[in-house]
Amino acid sequence: MNIIPQQCNAEVAGRIGRIASELAARGIDAILLSNFANLYYTSGRVYCGYAYITATGCVTYFVKRPNGLEGDNVVYIRKPEQIADFIAGASRPLTVAMELGIASYNTIERLKGIFTDATIADATPIINKVRSVKSEFEINKLKECGVHHATAYHNIEKVYRSGMSDIELQIEIERILRSEGCLGQFRIAGDTMELFMGNLLCGVNAETPSPYDFAMGGGGLDESLPVGCNGSLIKQGNTVMVDMCGNFNGYMTDMTRVYRVGAIPELAERAHQLSIDIHHRLAAMAVPGVEAKALYEEAMRMVKEARLEEYFMGLKQKAGFIGHGVGIEVNELPVIAPRSRDTLVAGNVIALEPKFVIPSVGAVGIENTYVVREGGLECLTNAPEQILELY
């Protein structure tokens, strides 16, 4: 079995080329990757080992596991020190980028031993920048996710039964998503983020702050995973916000829709409509060359104009962003935040999630995943945006 799945051959070559160009532009001779998301990006497959890519565009896959992967550029190793034997003589790099922002301190110290004379640079911003611009191959994978994601959400109304708790409904939605092909695993960068298959928030639980840097919180079922559902009953007058995992093929879309049980206050309806209006406004405005922070500022301007700031992005604790890149992981570049230094590029894929928490009611607002195109945003998660009634 070739390490590069056949359908990924041309795609992987393109990615290696883009990484090589980025290395050359920065005067870095090579990059050594071992994070699963980065290995998947550079080969089309998750394996245990390392990808070594030079600024001249050569890639070597150093594989520990699984057995049986093939390819001209596949080298089986048992320990990283063996990489040194393959990088000898004239081709020895003077500067090597490693995943300083991801790999453990001990791991990096060990890997440094492979390149004793080299200067070490940080691979994280380099690979994150390259990954933030999606190819048409990747956009097609994301489109496929969006279709499955929307199809699964379409079935949410069918599994609701009056008297359910938030977690009972979440379990049924998990089953719908898995049956639709969701791989479950929620890939997320950084060591202070974790979530099990997404977040469902209902009623006052939406007000509870969580330790994680997600847009919304929730108390969770247990102190060991304090986010999302807390087991409370879904009551008349509650909203139910569903923001669940859209990983159907190694890529993931991010999508939120809101439901209600019975009538909800006009404030909640108005805030939800404002979220939709923000989406439409930003979808037209977000063309290549626009600063990510300008999108945040425009959303905040609209929220202030509507005098809904106190509910925006949380009540007792506010998220500091309204959107983020998404792809192999749920938190990629660009970040749509007030201090973001990112500028939109054609091929960025971003999830926008202007949301509100309404006291005693729950969370409202939608999230869609979009591709940045020359003419604005193209939506990948197409489904009704209004609040739907559960009964």
For a second copy, the binding residues (CB under 8 A) are: 5, 34-36, 40, 44-49, 64-68, 98-109, 122, 124, 167-168, 171, 174-175, 178-179, 181, 183-185, 191-192, 194, 196-197, 208-213, 217, 221-226, 249-250, 316-317, 328
Write down the least CB distance from residue 219 to a second copy, Å. 9
C-alpha 284: how far from its chain's center? 22
Pick the closer one to a second copy by CB: 21 or 185.
Answer: 185
Q: Mapped to the 3 state alphabet, what secondary structure does 301-364 carry?
A: HHHHHCCCHHHECCCCCCCCCCEEECCCCCCEEEEECCCCCCECCCCCEEEECCCEEECCCEEE
Write down the least CB distance from residue 243 to a second copy, Å. 15
Pairing of strands 323-325, 252-253: unpaired
Write down the least CB distance from residue 267 to a second copy, Å. 23
Write down the least CB distance from residue 181 to a second copy, Å. 8
Write down the least CB distance from residue 270 to a second copy, Å. 26
C-alpha 29: how far from its chain's center? 29
Pick the closer one to a second copy by CB: 203 or 218.
Answer: 218
Pick the closer one to a second copy by CB: 250 or 377.
Answer: 250
DSSP label at 132?
Answer: T
Pick the closer one to a second copy by CB: 226 or 347.
Answer: 226
How many other CB atoms are found less than 10 A from the CB of residue 209? 16
Pick the closer one to a second copy by CB: 278 or 363.
Answer: 363
Q: What is the DSSP string of 170-203?
A: HHHHHHHHHHTT--------STT---SSEEEEEG
Radius of gyration of the CA atoms of the chain, in A:
22
DSSP label at 97?
Answer: E
